[in-house]
Structure 1
Amino acid sequence: MCPRAVALSFLFAWISAVANGDPSQGVSLPEPCLPGHPCMLALISDNPVTLRCPGAPHQGPLRLKTRMLRGDLRILDPSVEDSGIYTCRRGDAMLAYYEVDFQDAGRLHISHASLGKPPLANTTVELAGGDQRQLFTAWARWQPCDRCGGPGERKRVGFCYAQLASRPQGPLPCGLAGRGLPQRGPELRVESCEVPCDRAYTLSRDEWGKAPLLVITRYRALPYASARLRCPTASIYRYKDPVYWQEGPTALTWLDLHQRNGSISLDKATGGGTLLLSSWNGTDAGYYQCYMGGRLVGRFLVTPPRVLAPAPELTRAYSAIESLVVGLAIFLIFLLFLSILQSCRRKPGTIMA
């Protein structure tokens, strides 16, 4: 196998592994990188990532955008400036080593097959001194279709890599390949798909439905303001359980929103994990749901100021809570009445003074 294929095979295995990690922690790298075997990783800014460190202490001085999770380092909102070397130490012992290239999400190139937009082409750059580097996109595998039983979409993410002609070890993420390279960002490829709902998919939805979703995020949108609806647990890197959105019963796909060209759009930086409502004028009021793998994980109610109709789920929940409080109050009053009655009752043989 050629050096380029060896290097990229690690990338694809890494993306597959992190996609199945704990979704609440963002991306979590599967194995630590040890001295002598440094990991050179390409990631995308604005998307949380967790760097693992085996046997690390659970506390230490951290920046505002990072936190410790059982000894692992979570970067909440990485930027391009956060690219560099990350090491985890216990005394003089090196526990983990990462060299990370956070590629600019603002330069994320999205191409949709149905719109005729092609991915970025490979380019060859000639540097000072006559050295050449080839820039290309290293693609992860396709995610499954985001929904079944109707038109859906599937995605795959790609990272900018550079192959140096004089470096036989293999390609490097563009941000780690040195200066003098033209600006090239990561990619997101989208295409339409349609798959039937098999039995496993139906069972997973039924099992999820046994646990009701009680939390609904409310937004009171101001006129001509914008709102960002972030789907819980969604990640641009996730392979399993891709995210998709609905406005009521209407599916919101990359293709439909592009053709509609309205005030609703999917956020490029998060790969569609965030729904954007721009220049809100009241026509976009209503419920917005996000699903992962066909399971409801978030619901948002967007209304004008001072107009906030409770959701049916909330109405039932409030009614149940009200009934519980009233019943508890009646029970306490009954106990109080019994205690007063007991204290006023004279014992047999007691003589009043």
Structure 2
Amino acid sequence: MSCGAPCVAFFLGWIFVVTEANLYEGHSLGSSCLPGYPCTLAFISDNPVILRCPYAHPRAQVSWQYLDPRWTNEQPITFLRSESSSWPSLSHAKLMRFWFRSRLIAGHLYIPSPSVKDSGVYTCQVGDATIAYYNVDFQDAGHLHVSHASLGGTVLDNVTVELENGTRAELFTSWSPWQACDRCSRLGERKRVGFCYAQVTKSDQEVEKPLPCGIARRKYPMLPQRGPELRMETCQVPCDTPEKPNTASLLVFTTLHPQPMSVAHLRCPSSSIYSPVYWQEGLTKLTHFELLQKNSSQSLDKATGGGILHLTFQNGSQSTVYWCYVNGHLVGRFFVTSPAAVPAPKELARSYSSIEALVVGLSIFLVFMMFLSIIQSCRRKPETTIV
């Protein structure tokens, strides 16, 4: 391993710890995935995920392979290695896109924004041993069925369809557990994600175990289209610890100057459909419950479960501060002001200066730790064998 490799592993590990990202590991019916055994997982597209590589460690030679089910007479092809930073020679443009968009975190595969077309088989090898095998179905967030219990919304019903040769299939939603209430001590919201599954039977006998709809449709093309679901409801829970709304382990501060009659999209850092997230405009909370009831210039993105706030700006000047929270922690402040509006308040200027100082301090700390890691690696003497 080169002298620079330890610092790269350290840097990625630091990012993973500091962001405290709630990375989703997939929905599976039945028992959890076991190392070395095939595992079928369902995800929602456009939301970050991570595929675990068991027994991987910073010094292991980890590689990830991919196989598109539509590729015939091919084996999984390696597209990412832990010890290679050079431009790979890949036979498929799709694999080149994987190499460019995904990355390894301590040997695990991180995909920030997967698409439906990224569905397929993913395998992880440590050395020459295959220790993880995932058959992955990325379900289309564009066909997400959203319902809010407090607004009288209903979930999708189970559907039974007749197939050929006397077989039939039942399409149903398999639900993940309810997420935590997005805030405490006050009225909030919680959500859970539902994944489309298909159960195929013949003469009332199970042909095979239920499969995610995308995987089942490759076997049975006659299956109708059905998307995943997002279910929401209001909630109110006490706080386990005193709230600290203005503190965060990692805070993103952004200033926007939108033009009149334009649209802006504010993305809450580290948020996804799999994590509790909520927004505030100044001291006013923005909830799905309220925004779904009115035709407003503000809306919460459905595909990410509210992780993106869409804003439409009309004529006139305005200055507004938006705050977003993930898992109860403040992670983003967005100061939105039109070009004709007054400058940012002194409080925001002081906050920006504090954040800038924090970023500079963390950068200096990182450079110092990387320098120590390089020195330590280069000074390490090779092991000798005494005969």
Decide which of 227, 230, 250 is 1:185's aligned counterpart.
227
Which letter maps to 2:172? F
The equivalent residue for 2:24 is 27
Unaligned runs of 5+ in 1: 1-19, 322-353
State how far apart, in whole Å, the 1-side matches of 2:324 and 2:352 are: 24
Aligned residue for 2:293, secondary structure, equals helix
State how far apart, in whole Å, the 2-side matches of 1:268 and 1:216 are: 24
Change (3 A) 1:58 1:306: farther
Contact 1:33 / 1:98 at 8 angstroms: preserved in 2? no
Contact 1:225 / 1:279 at 8 angstroms: preserved in 2? yes
Decide which of 129, 144, 166 is 2:165's aligned counterpart.
129
Q: Are positions 1:217 and 2:254 aligned together? A: yes
The number of equivalent residue pairs is 293
Deviations 1:225-255 (A, max 9, x none): 21111111212113xxx21111111111111
Deviations 1:23-75 (A, max 9, x none): 4373246986544x211111000001111223325134452221122222111
The equivalent residue for 2:241 is 201
The equivalent residue for 2:45 is 45
Contact 1:289 / 1:296 at 8 angstroms: preserved in 2? yes
Superposed displacement of residue 284, structure 1: 6.9
The equivalent residue for 2:280 is 246
Instruction: Give the aligned CA root-mean-square deviation in angstroms.
Output: 2.9
48-57 or 105-114, larger mean C-alpha shift: 48-57
Change (3 A) 1:252 1:137: same
Decide which of 129, 133, 154 is 1:118's aligned counterpart.
154
Unaligned runs of 5+ in 2: 1-16, 57-61, 63-80, 89-97, 356-387
TM-score normalized with structure 1 length = 0.74
150-159 or 88-97, larger mean C-alpha shift: 88-97
Which letter maps to 1:184? R
249-258 or 298-307, larger mean C-alpha shift: 298-307
State how far apart, in whole Å, the 1-side matches of 2:345 and 2:335 are: 8
Decide which of 60, 63, 78 is 2:114's aligned counterpart.
78
The equivalent residue for 2:12 is none
Superposed displacement of residue 86, structure 1: 0.4
Superposed displacement of residue 157, structure 1: 0.7
Change (3 A) 1:96 1:282: farther
Decide which of 154, 165, 170 is 2:190's aligned counterpart.
154
Contact 1:86 / 1:98 at 8 angstroms: preserved in 2? yes
The equivalent residue for 1:291 is 325
Which letter maps to 1:26? L
Aligned residue for 2:183, secondary structure, equals coil
Decide which of 172, 190, 206 is 2:211's aligned counterpart.
172
Q: Are positions 1:302 and 2:336 aligned together? A: yes
Contact 2:189 / 2:235 at 8 angstroms: preserved in 1? yes
Which letter maps to 2:83? Q
Structure having the higher Rg: 1
Decide which of 288, 306, 326 is 1:272's aligned counterpart.
306
Which letter maps to 2:228? P
